[in-house]
Amino acid sequence: MTAVQPATVMSGRYQRAFTIAVVFLVAGWHLGGAGGQLLHNRADYGSFAFQCAMWLVMAVAIAVGSVLVLRGSLDWRLAWALAVVALVASTASAAASPAGQMLAVNWAWGSAGWTGVLLLHRRRFAELAWFLAVEAAATLGVQAWDGLDRIDLAGFLALLAWSTGAQIAVAGAVKALDAAADRAGTAARSEDATRERAATAEIIRAARHARWLALQESTVPLVAELASGTADPGDPQLRVRCAVQAARLRRLMAEGDELPGSLVHELHASADVAELRGVAVEIETAGTLPQVPAPARRVITDAAIAILTAARSQARITLATVTAGIAVSFVADTGSVVLLPAADQGVAIEHQQDGSMLWAEARWNNR
Amino acid sequence: MEQQVTVAIIEDHPVVTEGVASWIRSDPGRRVRLVHTARDLTGLRGESRPSADVVILDLELSGELVTAQIPGLVATGYRVVAFSGHSDPAIVMETLDSGAHAYVSKEEGSEHLVEAVLAAAGDRPYVTRSQARAMLADQRPGRPELSQQELQALLLWFQGMSKASVGRRMSISENTVRQYISRARAKYAATGRTAPSKDALLARAIEDGVIKPGEIMPYTSFARAAANRPSLGTPGQ
């Protein structure tokens, strides 16, 4: 499942606002425009009741269409079924009007056209054009049946230009606004994605830089000494330095992943070098461990590297959940006191030497 | 010289049985005598079962976990020390709750198994590091409430310190460290399902002054406390 982008939400909101505007426009026209005309000319119809019935049929078609459009559940079959209902009601109303006065008292043509706009404005433009053309042709057909002179034709064209023109203009405007909102959404989306990519790249770069700095400080001089021959590989001190740097390199590689168990993972990586030296290292955990932030983990693994490098034959590392944090402890036969890192990043380190055994505990507190 | 503790080993790998037998033989005080070995539990059922104070039980026999058999063994009078390659805290807790006296992981065997057998024979608590780990990790709603001192002692013991070092760290005597750890174990014996072995352990703990009856009351329902009381009065049976 993909997360909904804010940009998509925004363009969706604009489109809904346009839909609501169209619903108000169409309903307003049918109530005020068509309804007003119907009442004003009520004495002129053959049957006022039949005209009212047709008006109601169209009102129902508009109401149902509005609900479906607003809920976004209007498929093409329903849209066209309702459009045909409006078309039939409008033609029936025109046919039932007194001959000679049909265009003067016609309320239905405009309403049917607006109903078409409501139902079809989000579909292909050609569909609305076809609907309006058929509607106009039907009205013209009724007029021709009644008798079509030049004055009637002029009236018909005037009405066609006014009402159908307005309907096409509104539908076109909604299409244009939809397209603009879409473009704005796409632009915002790609801007979001670019910003996110840039932030990720920056995090990766910073992490690489930090690792590079860490290597500059300690590993590079050692390698340089070995390469130039100034360091003696037979010197036990140098071997310890090599072991520490090897453990650090392994830890740097392990540090890439941010997993709930990353501290355990990094401790394992830090223990690898000691294990290669023949030190038996056991790592045990008690309880569900909290996630420790990377800087604090680094202090803890620094302590681990220092102790494991000094361990002669055995080391035990345990991780236990304690109140508000984690206690990572080390017990190893180091023989002598080990130089441990200073308390930092919310990690406090304590130790106790008992004969050749060293106990040390790094406690990270999340408060 | 005190009477030797008799022990049976139930273990499906002969090489492990041989290893355990050699630990028993190499005990300087010769305090334990091996009387029975078998690869399954059938020999410990029925009328002609061997008499042994303690059964060292491998929890996985022929690929099957046998924790469910522990209550039956305990009911026939054996004291059970689990000896297992598993160290999952949930399995440790299940084993202790079923009435086993102690849990010794295979890594801890050479150091702890003989001592755990001797402790079990005397109905005294014995807490290995894997047991301490399971107690520290325990989040079950019915777990007993341990004091700060008990938790600290358990934590340091789990971390790998010797009991003498734990004592130095906590500025208490080694004996008090044992007392804290034993008390934590006794509190566990007072919770969960009932078993004669748990009652015996608890009775001995009270007798030895490790724990006071009042300290275990809040964790036992009145009905169960009443049911347990008669057996508490006759320890060491």
Per-residue pLDDT tens digits for A8-42: 666 777 788 888 999 999 999 999 888 998 888 88
More confident call, A323 vs A362 = A362
Q: Is the Cβ–Cβ distance between B135 and B151 less than 8 Å?
A: no
> Using one digit for the tens of pLDDT, what is the confidence trace for A212-257?
777 777 788 888 888 888 888 888 888 888 888 887 777 776 665 5
Contact yes or no for B159 and A361 at CB 8 A: yes
User: Which of B155, B159, B166, B168 would best serve as a mutation to test chain A binding (most A beta carbons within 10 A)?
Assistant: B159
Contact yes or no for B159 and A287 at CB 8 A: no
- Sort A46 into a burial class: Cβ within 10 Å, 0-12 / 13-18 / 19+: exposed
* pLDDT in the model for residue B162: 93
Report the top-level CATH class of B5-232.
alpha beta
Contact yes or no for A329 and B160 at CB 8 A: yes
Contact yes or no for A320 and B159 at CB 8 A: yes
* pLDDT in the model for residue A142: 85
Task: Give CA–CA dist A123/A228, Å, rounded.
Answer: 77
Is the CB of residue A287 less than 8 Å away from at least one CB of chain B? Answer: yes
Look-up: residue for tokens 């079950």? B140
Select from B158, B164, B168 the Cβ nearest to the Cβ of A318.
B158
Residues lower than pLDDT 50 in chain B? 1, 218-237
Indicate the angle between helix axes A108-120 and A6-28, nearest 10 degrees: 170
Query: What global pTM score does this model have?
Result: 0.59
Q: pLDDT band at residue A4, thresholds of 50, 70 and 90? A: very low
Task: Give CA–CA dist A231/A111, Å, rounded.
Answer: 96
What value does the CA radius of gyration of chain A take, rounded to a whole number of Å?
41
Contact yes or no for B133 and A327 at CB 8 A: no
- pLDDT exceeds 50 at position A277: yes
Single-letter residue type at A319: L
* pLDDT in the model for residue B62: 86
> Using one digit for the tens of pLDDT, what is the confidence trace for A143-188?
888 777 888 888 888 888 888 888 889 889 888 888 888 888 778 8
Angle (nearest 5°) at CA A169 between A164 and A172: 125
Is the CB of residue B34 less than 8 Å away from at least one CB of chain A? Answer: no
Q: Which of B150, B161, B167, B129 is nearest to B210 (CA)?
A: B150
Residue of A nearest to B107 (CA): A282
Rounded average pLDDT over A50-67: 92
More confident call, A214 vs A274 = A274
Q: Show me where the domains of chain B are located.
A: 5-232
Q: Report the topology of domain A233-365.
A: Heat Shock Protein 90 (3.30.565)
> Using one digit for the tens of pLDDT, what is the confidence trace for A339-352?
888 888 899 999 99
Q: Is the Cβ–Cβ distance between B17 and B55 less than 8 Å?
A: no
Average per-residue pLDDT for chain A: 84
Contact yes or no for B161 and A359 at CB 8 A: yes
More confident call, A205 vs B236 = A205
Structure tokens at A29: 């026209």
Least confident segment among A129-133, A361-365, B7-11, B60-64 = B60-64
Q: pLDDT band at residue A261, thresholds of 50, 70 and 90? A: low
* pLDDT in the model for residue B223: 46
* pLDDT in the model for residue B154: 96
Rounded average pLDDT over A313-327: 91
Is the CB of residue B126 less than 8 Å away from at least one CB of chain A? Answer: no
Select from A286, A327, A352 the Cβ nearest to the Cβ of B137.
A286
- Count CB-CB contacts under 10 A for residue A322: 18
* pLDDT in the model for residue A243: 81
User: Which of A329, A330, A353, A356 would best serve as a mutation to test chain B binding (most B beta carbons within 10 A)?
Assistant: A329
Q: C-alpha distances in angstroms, B97 versus B78, B199, B217? A: 16, 12, 18
Backbone conformation region of residue A60, classed left if phi is above 0, alpha if psi is from -120 to 50, else beta: alpha
* DSSP state letter for B217: G
Q: Show me where the domains of chain A are located.
A: 6-190, 233-365
CA B174, distance to chain mean position in Å, is 20
* pLDDT in the model for residue A255: 64
Task: Give CA–CA dist B235/B123, Å, rounded.
Answer: 9
* DSSP state letter for A43: G
Task: Give CA–CA dist B100/B55, Å, rounded.
Answer: 10
* pLDDT in the model for residue A256: 56
